[in-house]
Amino acid sequence: MTNSQTLDGNSVTYNYPDLGTVKIDFNEGQLTYEWLGGDFKGVTRGGLPYQSKLIGDKIYMFSWLEKPHYSFVTVVLNLGQNTMQSSAILNPQTEQEMSLFHSGNILNQTIL
């Protein structure tokens, strides 16, 4: 995937019914996320290089790698339907390794 940073200067807030609410801001090729609600409320990470791409009409895909544990997350935003899908491999090659797939609803978006 080409590192196009098509989401720079934008933000999106979405809710996973089973996990909580996340806000992500995109700036200068990096993203910052904050859990606003749910079991992970208050968890914030920033300065994470990301890749993004427009893959359809109002549909964006973006991904990032979190070091040092090498968790990898991919999110697809469907802005036309206010839905999102995510897939993640967390803590690979450790006792805590898990693979996740979740769906949610976009609550707020600032996509230019």
* Domain parsing of the chain, residue ranges: 11-106
- State yes or no: pLDDT of 45 exceeds 90: yes
User: What is d(CA 51, CA 62) in angstroms, rounded to the nearest whole number?
Assistant: 5
Query: pLDDT band for position 110 (50/70/90)?
Result: confident
Mean pLDDT computed over every residue of the chain: 92
- pTM comes to 0.89
In sequence order, the β-bridge partners of residue 85 are 76, 103
Q: Is the peptide bond before 68 cis (omega within 30 degrees of 0)?
A: yes
Q: DSSP characters for 1-24? A: -----TTTT-EEEEEETTTEEEEE
Contact 27, 78 (CB under 8 A): no
Helices (H), the chain: none
What CATH code is assigned to 11-106? 2.40.128.20
Burial class (CB in 10 A: 0-12, 13-18, 19+), 76: middle
Q: Residue 3 pLDDT more than 80?
A: no
